[in-house]
């Protein structure tokens, strides 16, 4: 193929200006043409002329073929290195100075960890151990993700701090209202309802709605944040207690004679006559159980999802008017006139435990949100805090001048006690620590004796029901600042509430699983397992799980004779016997090493010790 001539080479000289003007410029895609003489017809060039222009090649010249091998020195290729996408530079070209995932503190991870790795299952099979290891790895990964996502929680708990060592108990509610913003100041209010008092009150699980009932039959429910009234009725009967059920749409009212269920419009839906003369109510949200304590001494569990009574337990302690629930394990705590507190579960007809707390009758009981501490007050004017982690021993005691008639814990561990018309609040070092009873955190005097106390969830607000009506107090640092939008969302719509009810019903925990230690449900009861195995062996006459005796496989060419089969059986039996002897010797050496005192000098007489 002919190539275009380079500029300055093989270009014909310019004859005159007319020829240069008439000559058309040649494009790079056009072939080169030989200039013709005047009068000659234009056309393709002759072959003869083309041959003359081409360079002549000698006949015997050796034509070299183009080699496929490159003349450049061969350099061995480097193995392809794996590049971490996280360590690559970004658009700006700068590399990440902290590559990899962000480290998480061990203390934060332990807060979300739910598996105790120190406790292992004895005599477990390899398959069971592998499954447990996979479950532990998944739990550890989940706890790390939860600890890392905790950084996204923007809200922080509030607190109250005095200036120059000022006692916070001397700070009144008017000073707090002046110091906070307008939205927080609107949460402090007083409802003057002397005509129908004293009042009992209850907040919904989301902390958005408030229900209260007066002794003279006044029942009302409202959105206390926007002050929008949902319903207000008069049942024309004494109201002893009031509770929201699983949502703010249903309301349980313990009236003088029977238990009544109302909706958020004040319409009576049910009248449960099997629960008569009820004094106190408690609702277990994860089990959909309404626990009632009556004057007759019966503790009744009502399943509100199906409308059936699960259990009716006789406490055999007379009138029951002191009741509280443990939010951690859903165990009911009952206070009795003989100074004891009994712990109950619907799966047992007898109390799970009995704690002697006071020399006189018990007036009030409260359990914190972690299920670790229990506060009690009695007729001996003492306020005690007990440890519920198996010891049931009092951690601190304080003698009050008039005694506490009502107690309540907040989400962050603050303890409030109602003594006549005075409310005292004690604070601790944190959520997992017991409150310190040495000096009160806040003090407030009301217009009448206290009849009911409860902290509002997810709000630094304490609701107090008394003879004069309802009072909403501001208590900085009382509640959790962040809420779970999938579990308790104060801003959920009606459609979201309906979807949440369906999911909660599908995840309802059976009443038979209520026990003191809920973590025991995920463990294997080794004692019951061994006992059941013994009973099975006695009933069948043999162990169905025992290892089958060794049976040698038949072989050909005369190797399956009786003597060879007996020899192979004997060999396997000897190996098993050696293993048993080896294990027994190891256990014996281990026991001797434990029994031998550390630091003792060796003696020459040790050789005779067997």
For residue range 35-83, list pLDDT tens digits in order.
544 444 444 445 444 444 454 554 444 444 444 444 444 445 555 555 5
What's the whole-number mean pLDDT along residues 396-425? 94
- pLDDT (0 to 100) of residue 153: 80
Containing H/E element for 278? strand 278-284
- What mean pLDDT, rounded, does the chain reach? 83
What's the whole-number mean pLDDT along residues 470-476? 95
Convert the pLDDT of each residue in 5-15 to its tens digit. 555 445 555 55
Judge whether residue 169 has pLDDT over 70: yes
- The secondary structure of 234-264, three-state, reads ECCCCEEEEEECCCCCEEEEEECCEEEEEEC
- pLDDT (0 to 100) of residue 66: 44
- pLDDT (0 to 100) of residue 559: 73
What is the C-alpha to C-alpha distance for residues 89 and 325, in angstroms, rounded to an integer?
A: 56
What's the whole-number mean pLDDT along residues 301-322? 94
Long-range pairs, 121-129, Cβ under 8 A, ≥24: 121/524, 121/526, 122/526
**pLDDT bucket at 215, cuts 50 / 70 / 90:** very high
What's the whole-number mean pLDDT along residues 108-115? 79
Least confident of 12-21, 232-241, 514-523: 12-21
What DSSP state is assigned to residue 338?
Answer: T
- pLDDT (0 to 100) of residue 65: 44
What is the C-alpha to C-alpha distance for residues 478 and 159, in angstroms, rounded to an integer?
A: 8
- pLDDT (0 to 100) of residue 287: 95
- pLDDT (0 to 100) of residue 102: 79
pTM for the whole structure: 0.71
Judge whether residue 455 has pLDDT over 80: yes
Starting at the edge strand found earlier in the chain, the sheet holding 289-294 runs 278-284, 289-294, 298-303, 308-314
What's the whole-number mean pLDDT along residues 173-190? 93
- pLDDT (0 to 100) of residue 77: 52
Of residues 432 and 292, more confidence is placed in: 292
Convert the pLDDT of each residue in 555-600 to its tens digit. 777 677 888 888 888 888 888 889 889 988 988 888 887 776 665 6
What's the whole-number mean pLDDT along residues 195-222? 95
- pLDDT (0 to 100) of residue 23: 64
Judge whether residue 92 has pLDDT over 70: no
Residue 39 φ/ψ region, left for φ over 0, alpha for ψ in the -120 to 50 degree band, beta for the rest: left
**53 backbone dihedrals φ, ψ, rounded to 5°:** -75, -30
Q: Give the sign of the dihedral formed by CA 15, CA 16, CA 17, CA 18.
A: negative
What's the whole-number mean pLDDT along residues 414-422? 94
- pLDDT (0 to 100) of residue 48: 44
Tell me the percentage of the chain whose pLDDT exceeds 70: 81
- pLDDT (0 to 100) of residue 61: 46
Cis (ω within 30 of 0) for the bond into 104?
no
Count how many Cα atoms sit within 13 Å of the Cα of residue 238 in the half-sphere of its side chain. 8
- pLDDT (0 to 100) of residue 252: 97
Judge whether residue 523 has pLDDT over 90: no
- pLDDT (0 to 100) of residue 202: 97
Beta-bridge mates of residue 202? 211
Q: All domains of the chain, ordered by start, with CATH?
A: 166-481+489-498 (2.130.10.10)
Judge whether residue 32 has pLDDT over 70: no
**pLDDT bucket at 429, cuts 50 / 70 / 90:** confident
Let me know if 354 is exposed, middle or buried by CB neighbors in 10 A (0-12, 13-18, 19+).
Answer: middle
Of residues 514 and 90, more confidence is placed in: 514
Of residues 131 and 201, more confidence is placed in: 201
- pLDDT (0 to 100) of residue 83: 52
Convert the pLDDT of each residue in 340-367 to its tens digit. 999 999 999 999 999 999 999 999 999 9
Judge whether residue 377 has pLDDT over 70: yes
Best CA proximity match to 414, nearest among 325, 363, 474: 474
Judge whether residue 310 has pLDDT over 80: yes
Of residues 119 and 269, more confidence is placed in: 269
* Complete DSSP assignment for 307-333: TEEEEEEE-SSS----EEE-TTT--EE
């Amino acid at each position: 193929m002919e190539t275009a001539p380079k500029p300055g080479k093989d270009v014909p000289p310019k004859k005159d200006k007319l020829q240069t003007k008439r000559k058309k410029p040649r494009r790079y895609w056009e072939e080169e043409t030989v200039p013709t003489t005047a009068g000659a017809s234009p056309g393709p060039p002759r072959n003869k002329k083309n041959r003359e222009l081409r360079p002549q090649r000698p006949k015997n010249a050796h034509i070299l073929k183009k080699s496929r091998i490159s003349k450049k020195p061969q350099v061995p290729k480097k193995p392809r290195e794996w590049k971490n996408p996280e360590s690559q530079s970004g658009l700006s070209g700068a590399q990440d100075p902290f590559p990899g995932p962000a480290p998480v503190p061990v203390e934060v991870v332990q807060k979300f960890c739910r598996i105790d790795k120190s406790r292992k299952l004895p005599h477990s099979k390899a398959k069971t151990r592998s499954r447990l290891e996979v479950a532990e790895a998944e739990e550890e990964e989940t706890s790390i993700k939860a600890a890392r996502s905790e950084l996204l929680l923007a809200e922080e708990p509030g607190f109250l701090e005095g200036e120059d060592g000022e006692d916070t108990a001397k700070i009144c509610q008017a000073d707090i209202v002046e110091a906070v913003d307008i939205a927080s100041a609107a949460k402090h209010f007083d409802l003057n309802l002397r005509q129908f008092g004293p009042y009992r009150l209850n907040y919904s699980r989301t902390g958005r709605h408030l229900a209260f009932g007066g002794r003279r039959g006044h029942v009302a429910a409202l959105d206390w944040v926007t002050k929008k009234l949902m319903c207000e009725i008069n049942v024309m009967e004494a109201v002893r207690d009031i509770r929201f059920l699983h949502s703010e749409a249903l309301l349980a009212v313990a009236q003088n004679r029977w238990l009544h269920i109302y909706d958020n419009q004040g319409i009576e839906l049910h009248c449960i006559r099997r629960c008569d003369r009820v004094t106190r109510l408690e609702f277990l949200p994860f089990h959909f159980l309404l626990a009632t304590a009556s004057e007759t001494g019966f503790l009744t569990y009502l399943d509100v999802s199906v409308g059936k009574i699960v259990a009716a337990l006789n406490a055999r302690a007379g009138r029951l008017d002191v009741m509280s629930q443990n939010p951690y394990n859903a165990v009911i705590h009952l206070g009795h006139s003989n100074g004891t507190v009994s712990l109950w579960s619907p799966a047992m007809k007898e109390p799970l435990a009995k704690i002697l707390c006071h020399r006189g009758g018990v007036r009030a009981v409260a359990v914190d949100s972690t299920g670790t501490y229990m506060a009690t007050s009695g007729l001996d004017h003492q306020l005690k805090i007990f440890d519920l982690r198996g010891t049931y021993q009092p951690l601190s005691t304080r003698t009050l001048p008039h005694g506490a008639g009502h107690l309540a814990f907040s989400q962050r561990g603050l303890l409030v006690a109602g003594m006549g018309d005075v409310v005292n609040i004690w604070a601790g070092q944190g959520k997992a620590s017991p409150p310190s009873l040495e000096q009160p955190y806040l003090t407030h005097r009301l217009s009448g004796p206290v009849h009911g106390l409860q902290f509002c969830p997810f709000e630094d607000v304490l609701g107090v029901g008394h003879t004069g009506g309802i009072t909403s107090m501001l208590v900085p640092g009382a509640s959790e600042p962040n809420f779970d939008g999938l579990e308790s969302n104060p801003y959920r719509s009606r459609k979201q509430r309906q979807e949440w009810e369906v999911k909660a019903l599908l995840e309802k925990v059976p009443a038979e699983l209520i026990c003191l230690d809920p973590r025991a449900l995920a463990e294997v009861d080794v004692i019951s397992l061994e006992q059941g195995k013994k009973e099975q062996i006695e009933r069948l006459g043999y162990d169905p799980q025992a290892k089958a005796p060794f049976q040698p496989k038949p072989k050909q060419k005369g190797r399956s004779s009786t003597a060879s089969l007996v020899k192979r059986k004997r060999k396997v039996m000897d190996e098993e016997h050696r293993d048993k002897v080896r294990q027994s010797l190891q256990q014996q050496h281990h026991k001797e090493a434990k029994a031998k005192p550390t630091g003792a000098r060796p003696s020459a007489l040790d050789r005779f010790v067997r």
